[in-house]
Structure 1
Amino acid sequence: MKIHFQQALRALILLAFCGLIFQLHHTGDITKYINPKYVRLSQSASILFLFLFFIQITRIWTSKGDEVVHKHHHGQDCFHQDDHTCSHHHHDHGDTPFTVKKLLSYSIILFPLLTGFFLPAKTLDASIAEKKGGLSILGNQKQEVNSSESFDESDFDLEDYSFEEEIAETGELEHDLSVNEEAEEISNEEFERLKKELYSAPAIKMDDKVFSLYYEEISKDIDKFIGREIEFQGFIYKEDGLDSNQLVISRFLITHCVADASMIGFLSEIEEAPELYDNMWVKVSGVIEKAAYNGTEMPMIKIKEWKEIEEPFIPYLYPLTIKIL
């Protein structure tokens, strides 16, 4: 009986990937990497790795009889070929020595395993918001929403247009509040009801479910909301060039995974701004006003009350999904 070390290593890698995905699901940290609507797909990947692991196990050991048969067939192949062809006839049975190229390949595969097991899951924060463009991104979003209104309504139904579609670059709106369930879908009637509540409610309460929808509507026509009370939560992001009493209260919107994260949030004014710091999570209430940044009008929140809160276990927002009947 002969043990093939490299085949065993490959089996161990497959088992490790299976274990890593299982661990992320067990702790709930999987939602810090992907939209919860892909949880079932991720679980399937874990099962697939386990299945491949059991197949790989069969390649770790070979009996002496198998070795003799293999050498016999290999010898016959060489007998019927010239020396040049035979010298290049090669099968990798896990016995070939480690080369620089092979070590590099294993290192690339092992890197996500090592970081996944030994480094804690880190959420996107103010430093990422700055790299993505910061407050200028919010201004660009406002311009894109306004530019859509110039289209002919006969060619494009503005009621069906949404900022979520623009971010996702698809015609589908997506959302999920549950770690263990598939993405929740709402009917078009429910979607319209949520929009009507935004315009009729005495105070705008932006919970995670409606945050992106309400943010879009407010940014689309700020004048309709000036003077309205609003309540929401997010992390603080400070940007160079803002007044000493100004900051941005932000959230990250995840369509598929953290790689496509988009920052959304409100420019805000608060007297205690100098005392607050980046990545501090706060729950605030205030009044909507209008401000300009780099020549672009955007909503600004005049904060009346605020309190520091813990970062939510699921800090990201996910777009709504409208069920198409």
Structure 2
Amino acid sequence: MNFRFQQAIRALILLSFPILIFKLHFTGEILKFINPKYDGLSIAAAILFLVLFLIQLTRIWITKEHQHHHCHHEDHERCDHNHDHGDTPFNLKKLFSYMVIVFPLITGFLLPAKVLDASIANKKGGMAIITNQKQASKGGTNSQSNQTDNKNDDKQSDVTDNEFSEKVEAPTPTEHTIDPKLAAQEEMSEEEYEQLKKMLAQKPSVIMEQSVFATYYEDIHMDIQKYKGKTIQLTGFAYKEDDFEKNQLVIARFFITHCVADASIVGFLTELPEAASVDTDTWIELRGVLDITTYNGMELPFIKITEWKKVGEPEEPYIYPKNIRIL
């Protein structure tokens, strides 16, 4: 029997992919790359790679009789039907092909998984993206401009400390009594989604938890007046641009539809006296009051921060959309 080195390399590559995928799942780092709803799909891909690896094992050793049966060239290196069985000489073209496949494996095993940060937000457009989100929302829905401003507009907290005393006060049951099953649903009908938005809008305060962050964000940008004056609480990382005032920064998150390749920044422009002392990429938990400001000629929601503190990066740093079934 002849040992075929190139076929062994291919088997090793096929085995490396499921090992990397299972490693990412075991450590939880897979969530830094894909939407959690694709967990099952990534596991299926890993299993498929394992099957291909087992098939590839049968090609590593081959008898001379079997080789002569398939190949009729003098040196038995090139088949008469013009495709490579892995026995042709190793050349630069093959080296390049292998490197294209092996490179993501090397980086996946050797480089630590990193959450998208402000530098990526800047490359993707930063405030230009956030401004466009408002413009798109305004164009897609009829804003209730005649709605009266919320009476909470003037009820801002007098707290000016840069840290909460202990923890952010938990909302009273009447403040946030949303059906938890409905809020937790990753997939819902249009009717259920509209019901969720209506329930969220009726609350006196805006608590942007993971399960409703995207829903709140969309609805606030669709109709700022409906939320103006309400207390808001959220967590995000600090992002700044050169043209910001000294007391301005954006508290942002990344919105992931499928994977990090389609990531888009979402966030709120905020007003904070200590903004200049807050480093970019610092994760902040804040409470403030929603208001309206103008940035580059576009009306945007912004937050007058009343309480804030630095926190560690959350276990789920990204925001994911609700899947709406079109019936």
Report the TM-score range of the alignment, normalised by the length of the smaller protein. 0.7 to 0.9
Q: In structure 2, do the counterparts of structure 1 residues 51 and 274 end up closer, same or farther at CA, with 3 Å as the change threshold?
A: same
Residue 243 of structure 1 and its aligned partner are, at CA, apart by 0.5
Q: Select 1:317's aligned residue among 312, 316, 319.
A: 319
One-letter code of the match for 1:288?
A: L
Name the stretch that deviates more: 290-299 or 16-25: 16-25
Structure number having the greater helix percentage: 1
The 8 Å contact of residues 70 and 79 in structure 2, kept in 1 or not, is answered as: no
Alpha-carbon distance between aligned partners in 2 of 1:104 and 1:24, rounded to the nearest angstrom? 26
RMSD: 2.4
Report the 3-state secondary structure (helix = DSSP H, G, I; strand = E; otherwise coil) of the residue aligned with 1:92. coil
Report the 3-state secondary structure (helix = DSSP H, G, I; strand = E; otherwise coil) of the residue aligned with 2:88. coil
Q: Does 2:105 match 1:103?
A: no
One-letter code of the match for 2:123?
A: K
Task: Tell me the residue number matched to 2:308.
Answer: 306
Residue 56 of structure 1 and its aligned partner are, at CA, apart by 0.6
Task: Tell me the residue number matched to 1:207.
Answer: 209
Map 1:90-239 onto structure 2 (within 5 A).
90-149=82-141, 184-239=186-241
Residue 307 of structure 1 and its aligned partner are, at CA, apart by 1.0
Alpha-carbon distance between aligned partners in 2 of 1:314 and 1:64, rounded to the nearest angstrom? 55
Residue 88 of structure 1 and its aligned partner are, at CA, apart by 7.1
Task: Tell me the residue number matched to 1:2.
Answer: 2
Alpha-carbon distance between aligned partners in 2 of 1:324 and 1:92, rounded to the nearest angstrom? 48
Task: Tell me the residue number matched to 2:154.
Answer: none
TM-score calculated relative to the size of structure 1: 0.82
Q: Select 1:260's aligned residue among 243, 259, 262.
A: 262
Residue 191 of structure 1 and its aligned partner are, at CA, apart by 2.2
Alpha-carbon distance between aligned partners in 2 of 1:75 and 1:35, rounded to the nearest angstrom? 50
Report the 3-state secondary structure (helix = DSSP H, G, I; strand = E; otherwise coil) of the residue aligned with 1:142. helix
Report the 3-state secondary structure (helix = DSSP H, G, I; strand = E; otherwise coil) of the residue aligned with 1:250. strand
The 8 Å contact of residues 35 and 257 in structure 2, kept in 1 or not, is answered as: yes
Structure 1: give runs of 5+ residues left out of the alignment. Answer: 79-85, 152-176
Map 1:222-301 onto structure 2 (within 5 A).
222-301=224-303
Q: In structure 2, do the counterparts of structure 1 residues 203 and 89 end up closer, same or farther at CA, with 3 Å as the change threshold?
A: closer
Task: Tell me the residue number matched to 2:156.
Answer: none
Residue 141 of structure 1 and its aligned partner are, at CA, apart by 1.1
Residue 262 of structure 1 and its aligned partner are, at CA, apart by 1.1
Alpha-carbon distance between aligned partners in 1 of 2:5 and 2:55, rounded to the nearest angstrom? 16
Residue 221 of structure 1 and its aligned partner are, at CA, apart by 1.7
Q: 1:15-36: CA deviations, max 9, x gaps?
A: 0011111111111111111111
Q: 1:129-176: CA deviations, max 9, x gaps?
A: 11111112111111111122369xxxxxxxxxxxxxxxxxxxxxxxxx
Alpha-carbon distance between aligned partners in 2 of 1:315 and 1:18, rounded to the nearest angstrom? 25
Task: Tell me the residue number matched to 2:179.
Answer: none
Question: Percentage identity across aligned positions?
Answer: 55
Q: Does 2:25 match 1:25?
A: yes
Residue 190 of structure 1 and its aligned partner are, at CA, apart by 3.7
The 8 Å contact of residues 73 and 79 in structure 2, kept in 1 or not, is answered as: no
Q: 1:179-224: CA deviations, max 9, x gaps?
A: xxxx832344542332123222121101111111111111122122
One-letter code of the match for 1:236?
A: A
Q: 1:65-87: CA deviations, max 9, x gaps?
A: 3345456xx269x9xxxxxxx99
Name the stretch that deviates more: 214-223 or 243-252: 214-223
Alpha-carbon distance between aligned partners in 2 of 1:87 and 1:145, rounded to the nearest angstrom? 60
Alpha-carbon distance between aligned partners in 1 of 2:219 and 2:100, rounded to the nearest angstrom? 44
One-letter code of the match for 1:66?
A: H
Q: 1:225-244: CA deviations, max 9, x gaps?
A: 22110001111101110100
Q: In structure 2, do the counterparts of structure 1 residues 131 and 147 end up closer, same or farther at CA, with 3 Å as the change threshold?
A: same
The 8 Å contact of residues 2 and 61 in structure 2, kept in 1 or not, is answered as: yes
Alpha-carbon distance between aligned partners in 1 of 2:101 and 2:44, rounded to the nearest angstrom? 20
TM-score calculated relative to the size of structure 2: 0.81
Alpha-carbon distance between aligned partners in 2 of 1:232 and 1:197, rounded to the nearest angstrom? 18
Residue 299 of structure 1 and its aligned partner are, at CA, apart by 0.6
Alpha-carbon distance between aligned partners in 2 of 1:91 and 1:38, rounded to the nearest angstrom? 36
Task: Tell me the residue number matched to 1:15.
Answer: 15
Residue 63 of structure 1 and its aligned partner are, at CA, apart by 2.2
Alpha-carbon distance between aligned partners in 2 of 1:224 and 1:70, rounded to the nearest angstrom? 74
Report the 3-state secondary structure (helix = DSSP H, G, I; strand = E; otherwise coil) of the residue aligned with 2:108. helix
Report the 3-state secondary structure (helix = DSSP H, G, I; strand = E; otherwise coil) of the residue aligned with 1:322. strand
Q: In structure 2, do the counterparts of structure 1 residues 301 and 15 end up closer, same or farther at CA, with 3 Å as the change threshold?
A: same
